[in-house]
Structure 1
């Protein structure tokens, strides 16, 4: 094999791994992590001696840093809407805290009071969770990793880089021009040029190195008039947790704690530190910090390992848990799931009152509703306090504004996830992954708009916020109190929308802009038996190439994977039986019905049909079968020219 020289791949400009003579770098004064000046490499293939040179340069429209659920949703949104996108993840698996490495449930608005029912997130997260129900009926966290990998890698406009961390921002004034990355598995230094950057990494190293303004710790009561904030600001950040899973071995299993275990002092513990469902891990085995929680990460991890085994030793050997006699640890986490570190400041800082008073934002792009779940300072090292204060539970969802998703001082920087512009108390609710995913889809959609229009995030807020919101609503995101009103939607111009049968709702509601029943108001049509059809009529022929339908997946029942695999009124552990399975669309052309498209095994709530553009005076949607209920329910029909 001949020695490869540097080469450039098209517009990407990737510099390939190569071997170069030592003399070629003899005059280099500053070496980067990828330069191997002392590499004493003899290649047996050709007998030549040199050094390994591993540098790559890539160019994209949008670069997303962090492959948790917020980052996945951001990257997929940007890519699907047209931007050439890269997703960078510092681990070998996607999913962040939800991955097999940490196994945290994908909570969002999962139990509103008083009936503990969800107001489930739709859009890209809904699509991911449905995909998991079809591909992972065994509910394996290891398979979940691969479900996410499949979901991301199938996007043609999206490049995935695993085991890669963005370590430095290359700046031009207030603009990020590039992200310098290190890929652990290949020893490569990778430079990513992009027009827009979205930091979804949680800790936000790229954003921090760009000079973006950020905070850590707790604000005092006075700054935002937050009743649950401390009297004076301090440095405390909510802790990181290690989880475990245990299984029943069918016979007594002894346990002896390792030397590094830290004894659990039950007599000093707050009674709210309970052990319910302990076989699936205990979330309050966590350690917070009042200083640099990122810099202390390895010390925290080591201590958490000790506390974890100390608690398990208490469960196994205290005599207070006879049900644990036959149990053994089957999996033990080694990477703590972090709740809080940097919070980057945007044009708006979301605070406690915004949530509790359900403030309406004209630039709302996401929502939340998890309780104000502030874990106690110091975590398990503060046994006297309850593990979380659970200040208040929500009865309805709150809005999250777009201005909290971009930097106030770095012109082309978005963020999504726990690092958005918010106070510590607001973070105690919005940090859960379902809510972070909505922020990710909003940031990715906005980043694509920035690329299309040649602007930066603040200009999306000032000049294009309506277009961003309409784009999100079309892609099945939900914005509270914001009905869709897309001027390009031909269904809104229909002279008549009728149904073959109706058991609840009204066919006319399918174009009212609300894609779910909300606050007790019906926004659906439901058939009386199947098959059934809906017909959309226009007085004059329209040019049509796309039909988009939002069907039912029962948004009042959770579909995320749980370690305990519940199936009850609030959870399902299978594909939602309400999901539409089989349907077809026809168009009337010159008085004759012609096929427009059909699906026999639908797997999505947002169902899209596309064909060559035709002139039509009506479409007919025939619903044939669901995954288990006898009546089908629709929430929206949209029609587009292109």
Structure 2
């Protein structure tokens, strides 16, 4: 009997089968986790018998479930925009597929890099982790999240039940895996960035799995008929050169590698022995979540079969001194649930670069649909790499909230996407942009006491302007913030100009596009930018966007040598402004209001006591390596 047939029959006719739970989601209370009536605890310190009290209730404005790159971006953006936020993660570390547990590279659009929160994190990693250690990367993420005001992080905690009123989520019950504590979290807005989307599924939110057929959305790369296949999971590895011959004996469960069949596809050929092979992958044609433990075991078995071939076939002499240093035990996942929003992004939206009025970011990865059977189907290519959009494509907000649960959003690979569209949007930097959008959107929803659908129909300008201010690039959507006092300045002048023009700093576009220049570059340092108003204005914030060269990669790699050859700098971008000073003119004298010595962000935001002034002077003192400084934007606010 095929596995798919077993589960179909089981769900209909095997109601008592212990392998199936057809009664719905199981909560911590259903499992008896907090029924402590039989707990036989003698407390030596007090001399009494007791019962552990490990239940708590907390409240926040926004709850984010899932601490991968999308979840981090959602939680940080929500908190930064002034609402109390809680982020829960069911693992001991942050990062999801990018963490030390899975070690997948934070890829994004190859045409031009994502900015905003994901870029901040990648740059910060080069400050604290030049050695490119994945365990240290975990702690860079931990530091980044835990220092944010308004944000509480709860690790080793899984959402196991939801409390609903009609189609509105009231609270989520969570189980602490390490502290045996049931936490009920009440919130106003809920965001599922967990990938698999268990919390969102328990609300009754509509979702789908498998592949749509060609006819449903007119997708040329979809199969002729719909089926249940999802792209597979994979595990990665890192090796070490020991400087002496290192023998290898495969574990008992290893599956021999059929290299003759595998190598018929150029993408499965072994080109290096330093890092993992993405094509060692196992998919599923029915329930990739329910079968995950079987998939994990198979992945390890197939991986060790490949490594046994590399080490013992004699065909890879370069591997003689190479030993395995780390092999993943938790599979990285590409696809499972895809929730249904008010819009579903498709192949045609991506390849035709459709313009969306509710755009919140962009993508650019190719339609990279992996072989549905993975390494168990080596008669087909490992991936089809169908096509790539001619330019970066827009991602609409309408795919990031639930169609039928009013206060539920999601971001990442569980967004409202077809299977083919997901094959592009699933990379983590793109998912991070989605996360920053839903976190920012949730904060607006809380403040205006609305839900995401109403935000999309009535307040998209508010969301887009805040995202642009926070350094998210939205193609074809320039910034037009009416509150920005820099736009009202009567004079703007730079002390020197090598390229561009100071007037471009208020044109609303925060990066150069193709042959369009949107910057002002100084001719040497130090250099000054001065803004003048004929009528004095009240100012308490000055904000700028500098240069990080968005056409250069920033991510960490398992095999950095390969990328050094491509001239990726494994350090803080040298173009980035490092030191600057801000002054305002007060009664004819310049008064310093901000001085920054070690800036590591492209978006530079300063806040100071409000002052009424007729001029602001910004002195750019130094970069992280370049002789000139480049700005793309300047803003002033009261």
Which TM-score tier does this pair reach, normalised by the shorter chain? over 0.9
Give the match for residue 182 of structure 1: 175
Give the alignment partner of residue 265 of structure 2, picking from 260, 271, 283: 271
**1:56, distance to aligned residue in structure 2 (A):** 1.1
2:340 is aligned with 1:345: yes
Q: Distance in 2 between matches of 1:568 and 1:427?
A: 31
Residue of structure 1 in register with 2:220 after alignment: 227
Residue 246 of structure 2 aligns to a residue in which SS? coil
Secondary structure of the residue aligned to 1:53 is coil
Structure 1 residues 537 and 100, CA, compared in 2 at 3 Å: closer, same or farther?
A: same
1:66 equivalent in structure 2: 66
Partner of 2:18: none
CA offsets 1:310-366 (integer angstroms, 9 cap, x no match): 010011011111100110000010000000000000000000000000000000001
Moved more, 387-396 or 308-317: 387-396
Matching residue of 2:423: 428
Residues 1:628 and 2:622 aligned together: no
Q: Residue by residue, what CA displacement relative to the aligned partner does 1:147-174 show, whole Å, maximum 9, x if unpaired?
A: 0000000012111010001112111000
Q: Does structure 2 retain, via aligned residues, the 8 Å contact 1:586–1:595? A: yes
Q: CA deviation at 1:46?
A: 1.9
Residue 162, structure 1, aligned to residue 155, structure 2: yes
Q: Which residue of 2 aligns with 1:562?
A: 557
1:191 aligns with 2:188: no
Residue 481 (structure 2) aligned to one of 473, 479, 486: 486
Q: 1:569 to 1:527 in 2, by over 3 A?
A: farther
Contact 2:273/2:319 (<8 A) preserved? no
Q: Deviations over 1:352-387 (max 9, x none)?
A: 000000000000001100111000011000111111
Shift of 1:50: 3.1
1:45 alignment counterpart: 45
| Structure 1 residues 112-191: aligned runs within 5 Å | 112=111, 119-191=112-184
Aligned to 2:200: 207
Q: Specify which of 292, 300, 303 is matched with residue 305 of structure 1.
A: 300
**Hey, what's the Cα distance between the residues in 2 that align with 1:525 and 1:165?**
48
Tell me the secondary structure at the aligned position of residue 226 of structure 1. Answer: coil
Give the deviation of 1:519 after TM superposition. Answer: 2.9
**Residue in structure 2 matched with residue 573 of structure 1 by the alignment:** 570
CA 1:137–1:602: 2 relative to 1, 3 Å: same
Q: Which residue of 1 aligns with 2:12?
A: none
Q: Deviations over 1:596-630 (max 9, x none)?
A: 21111111111112111111111111111111111
Give the equivalent residue in structure 1 for 2:26: none
Q: SS in structure 2 opposite 1:52?
A: coil
Deviation string for 1:251-298 (max 9, x for gaps)? 110001010101110112233212123311111111000111000000
Q: Secondary structure at the match of 1:444?
A: helix
Corresponding residue of 2:591: 594
* SS of aligned partner of 2:61: strand
Q: What SS class does the counterpart of residue 449 from structure 1 fall into?
A: helix
Deviation at 1:188, TM superposition (A): 1.0
* In the alignment, structure 1 residue 584 sits paired with structure 2 residue 584: no
Provide structure 2 residue ranges, at least 5 long, that are not aligned to the other structure.
Answer: 1-28
Q: How does 1:238-277 map to 2 (within 5 A)?
A: 238-269=231-262, 270-272=264-266, 273-277=268-272
Matches within 5 A, 1:362-377: 362-377=357-372
Q: Residues 598, 408 of structure 1: CA spacing in aligned structure 2 closer, same or farther, 3 A cutoff?
A: same
CA contact (8 A) 1:218 1:229 kept: yes
| CA displacement, residues 517-561 of structure 1 (integer Å, 9 cap, x when unaligned) | 113211000011111111111121111110001111111101111
Whole-Å separation in 1 of the counterparts to 2:323 and 2:34:
44
| d(CA) in 2 for partners of 1:570, 1:159 | 39
The question of whether the paired residues in 2 share the 8 Å contact of 1:179 and 1:191 is answered with yes
Query: Does the CA contact (< 8 Å) of 1:35 and 1:53 recur in 2?
Result: no
Give the match's secondary structure for 2:64. Answer: strand
- Distance (whole Å) between structure 2 residues aligned to residue 387 and residue 311 of structure 1: 15
Structure 1 segments, 4+ long, off by >6 Å, are: none
Alignment partners' CA distance in 2, 1:360 and 1:392: 19
Q: Which moved more, 1:613-622 or 1:418-427?
A: 613-622
SS in 2 for 1:498: strand
Residue in structure 1 matched with residue 602 of structure 2 by the alignment:
605
Pairing of 1:503-582 with structure 2 (within 5 A) = 503-565=498-560, 566-567=563-564, 571-582=568-579
Does structure 1 residue 359 correspond to structure 2 residue 354?
Answer: yes
Using structure 2 for the length normalisation, give the TM-score.
0.94
Residue 293 of structure 1 pairs with residue 288 of structure 2: yes
- What is the TM-score normalised by the length of structure 1? 0.93
Mapped to 1, the partners of 2:565 and 2:34 lie a distance apart of 54
Deviation at 1:31, TM superposition (A): 7.4
The 8 Å contact of residues 41 and 49 in structure 2, kept in 1 or not, is answered as yes
The alpha carbon displacement at 1:569 in A equals 5.3
| Equivalent residues, number | 606
SS of the aligned residue for 1:559 comes to coil
Conservation of the 8 A alpha-carbon contact between 1:556 and 1:570: no
Q: Residues 557 and 569 of structure 1 are in contact (CA less than 8 Å); yes or no, is this contact kept in structure 2? A: no
Equivalent in 417, 420, 442 of residue 447 of structure 1 = 442
